[in-house]
Structure 1
Amino acid sequence: MSKKPKIKITLVDRKGPCACHRGHCIGDVFDYDEERGRLCPMAMHVAFPYIDILRYGGTLPTCKDGDFRFCCPDVDVINVFRIEKNK
């Protein structure tokens, strides 16, 4: 059985008018295996299906910057996260 790849989640932007209620700031980086409890549960809920796709060999569509991004569902904050599969 092959080992699942490591996943890194980075907060890269904020689109909403309010600061993150969980205290996340642009530049925060999370190792999915080691630090998933630090990531806001609402953002984690959005990220999980994408992480699952990456871990089981799938690919995600890239954005104009060439990476994959998702947003937290808090309309006042709208943190933008990048997901990367570590090689």
Structure 2
Amino acid sequence: MNRGKRPKIKLTITDRRGKKGCHRGHKVGDVFDYDTERGEICPMAMHCAFPYIDILRYGGSLPGQEEGTAEFCCSDADVIMVFKAEIEK
């Protein structure tokens, strides 16, 4: 990893497991650039995303997850949108 510059992170919505649609209007297949579009992402999802993005940006990895990726869910139990964060190469 280049120590002088943080890697770019892409967030993709990969699944929805809740009973209701996203209150923010997100859908499976939506893709966001974390650095330039994070204001468009639901604050509940961003609250959950931040630790995973930090782990990836600073060279960490998550057990059982592909190198450079992290899957997580938003915290809304009615919606449960599944996101995949990945380092853009």
What TM-score results when the alignment is normalised by the length of structure 2?
0.89
What do you get for the CA RMSD once the two structures are aligned?
A: 1.3
Q: Which runs of 5+ in 2 are unaligned?
A: none
Flag as ranges the 4+ runs of structure 1 deviating above 3 A: none
Task: Give 2:46's aligned amino acid.
Answer: M
Q: CA deviation at 1:56?
A: 1.0
Aligned pair count reads: 85
Q: After alignment, is 52-61 or 24-33 more displaced? A: 52-61
Verify the 8 A CA contact 1:61 1:68 in the aligned structure 2. no
Verify the 8 A CA contact 2:52 2:70 in the aligned structure 1. no
1:47 is matched with which residue? 49
1:38 is matched with which residue? 40
Q: Which runs of 5+ in 1 are unaligned?
A: none
1:83 is matched with which residue? 85
- 1:82 and 1:21 map into 2 onto residues whose CA distance is 19
**Selected match of 1:8 from 3, 7, 10:** 10
**Selected match of 2:63 from 55, 61, 64:** 61
Task: Give 1:49's aligned amino acid.
Answer: P
